[in-house]
Amino acid sequence: MLGSVTFRIFDTATRELRDFQPIREGHASIYLCGATPQAMPHIGHVRSGVAFDILRRWLVAQGLDVAFVRNVTDIDDKILTKAAEHGRPWWEWVSTYEREFTWAYDQLGLMPPSVEPRATGHVTQMVTYMQRLMDNGYAYEVDGNVYFDVTAWAKAEEGDYGSLSGNRVEDMEQGEPDSPGKRGPHDFALWKSAKPGEPAWPTPWGEGRPGWHLECSAMATYYLGGEFDIHCGGLDLQFPHHENEIAQSHAAGDGFANYWMHNHWVTMSGEKMSKSLGNVLSVPHILKQVRPVELRYYLGSAHYRSVLEYSEQALQEAAAGYRRIESFVRRVADKAGGVEVGEWTDAFADAMNEDLAVPRALAEIHNVVRAGNQSLADGDLPGAVEKAGQVRAMAAVLGVDPLSEKWAQAGRDDDRAMHALGVLVDHELETRTRARQEKDWATADGVRDRLTEAGIEVTDTADGAKWSLAD
């Protein structure tokens, strides 16, 4: 319960909508599986960040103090492989792309996490966690490798392996190679023994590096405690990562997450966006087509549990939708000398409280925008101001308030820059037109070449020369 209003979450673990009841009144604790920085972030990566930034903003808007932990997996097989392929130190490689992820998050206006732990900084906690599992009989060591005993946990009275994914143990494939000494093919590595040329840290069982799943359990419980409210992440992490997190955490004696939330994929032509499919769209590339706030609006516009099918048309339609909101709020602010943040509508709150139903929430925002535009048309400025305040309140929850500190200056800068560019380009085109009329082809071609070099495309039409920014 949030005050007198019930916020409902679709809990992946129970496969049902559940009333959100935080462990500690007035406080919410959230862990989000963050980046594995091995390459440039694409929009599939940052959708998760946007989706759960909206969750955090809604909880904060309801008056809760939110502890939000978003980790960085800074040691991983893929990172080591990529770095080796390019002849780069692993730490330099991961740091380079971690900065790219941070830049992308900042561009999209994500609230900074309460803490952003890195796996390599929490080996001590991982060692303690492994020892607890060994003491409980659910982990074992073989030649410096430490494995979680899936069969032992599945057979235990309190064992719940498969509860999150709904899969049977015998049907699950961890994607890890079988190694001599493993008790069962489903056992997964908590710790990997040192290999030549790889980074390693000391443990009672020898030098090595952590397994992927162990990292998150150790970091989540270190910062949020043995039991916390919500664990978030992409649907592709449900198995094996989150399934294994649950297993090792419960086996260690921790209650772990009370709710599990998973966002769906971004797809293109019906296929999950991934590097292997070659259909990756990087954040910097997309930001050549739309502004950061428009990309955020697009990524957050679908329900977080729904597939977001990418197309350039859909992206541009979303950008146009945001600009309608922005235009209304700014028009009112210009006429009234400003607009304060008001109160969201009941319809908006109802949508957000039903498992963050953002499409319904956006529909309500646009309803209010239409009503506000009508108020302007009728000369009812006070009515328009009230509605613009409502729009600001609702848009702020979604992280896209046009007059917020994040987006207002950016919008003004964009407007000023485009105005200045337009004046300069129009002057150049006038010069070109006069040159063509005088058959001074050298001057005309020179203008066109300069504009092309500056990234300006010129198209000659029956109504004269038109220009646009090149892709």
Note the pLDDT of residue 218.
98
Question: Are 284 and 373 in a shared domain?
Answer: yes
Question: Are 172 and 281 in a shared domain?
Answer: no
Question: Are 37 and 172 in a shared domain?
Answer: yes
Q: CA 327, CA 319: separation in Å to the nearest integer?
A: 12
Assigned domain for 1 exists: no
Q: Which residue, of 360, 375, 403, is where some domain finishes?
A: 403
Assigned domain for 440 exists: yes
Question: Are 182 and 231 in a shared domain?
Answer: yes
Question: Are 258 and 385 in a shared domain?
Answer: no
Q: Dump pLDDT digits (tens) for 165-179.
A: 998 887 777 877 778
Q: Dump pLDDT digits (tens) for 261-282.
A: 999 999 998 888 876 666 679 9
Share of the chain above pLDDT 70, in %: 94
SS (H, E, C) the chain: CECCECCEEEECCCCEEEECCCCCCCEEEEEEEEECCCCCCEHHHHHHHHHHHHHHHHHHHCCCEEEEEEEECCCCHHHHHHHHHCCCCHHHHHHHHHHHHHHHHHHCCCCCCCECCEHHHCHHHHHHHHHHHHHCCCEEEECCEEEECHHHHHHCCCCCCCCCCCCCHHHCCCCCCCCCCCCCCCCEEEEEECCCCCCCECCCCCCEEECHHHHHHHHHHHHHCCEEEEEEEEHHHHHHHHHHHHHHHHHHCCCEEEEEEEECCEEECCEECCCCCCCCCEHHHHCCCCCHHHHHHHHHHCCCCCCEECCHHHHHHHHHHHHHHHHHHHHHHHHHCCCCCCCCCHHHHHHHHECCCHHHHHHHHHHHHHHHHHHHHCCCHHHHHHHHHHHHHHHHHCCCCCCCHHHHHHHHHHHHHHHHHHHHHHHHHHHHHHHHHCCCHHHHHHHHHHHHHCCEEEEEECCEEEEEECC
What is the mean pLDDT of the segment spanning 315-337? 97
Would you tell me the crossing angle of helices 243-252 and 212-224 to the nearest 10 degrees?
60
Q: Taking 70 as the threshold, does the pLDDT of residue 357 lie above it?
A: yes
Give the CATH number for residue 101.
3.40.50.620
Range of the domain at 65: 8-263
Q: Taking 60 as the threshold, does the pLDDT of residue 411 lie above it?
A: no
What is the mean pLDDT of the segment spanning 118-132? 98
Give the CATH number for residue 383.
1.10.730.10
More confident residue, 385 or 271: 385
Total domains present in the chain = 3
Assigned domain for 249 exists: yes
Q: Which residue, of 245, 263, 281, is where some domain finishes?
A: 263
Q: Which residue, of 403, 424, 459, is where some domain finishes?
A: 403
Question: Are 130 and 259 in a shared domain?
Answer: yes
Assigned domain for 291 exists: yes
Question: Are 165 and 290 in a shared domain?
Answer: no
Question: Are 371 and 275 in a shared domain?
Answer: yes
Q: Structure tokens of 469?
A: 């920014």
Whole-model pTM above 0.85? yes
Assigned domain for 351 exists: yes
Q: Which of 52-56, 416-420, 466-470 has the lowest mean pLDDT?
A: 416-420
Average pLDDT, whole number, for the chain?
A: 93
Assigned domain for 379 exists: yes
Q: Taking 50 as the threshold, does the pLDDT of residue 1 lie above it?
A: no
Note the pLDDT of residue 471.
45
Question: Are 244 and 355 in a shared domain?
Answer: no
Q: For residue 54, which of 400, 347, 310 has the smallest C-alpha distance?
A: 400
Burial of 105: CB neighbours in 10 Å, binned 0-12, 13-18, 19+: buried
Assigned domain for 251 exists: yes
Question: Are 162 and 205 in a shared domain?
Answer: yes
Question: Are 325 and 428 in a shared domain?
Answer: no
Q: Dump pLDDT digits (tens) for 179-221.
A: 888 999 899 999 999 999 999 999 999 999 999 999 999 999 9
Question: Are 85 and 35 in a shared domain?
Answer: yes
Assigned domain for 305 exists: yes
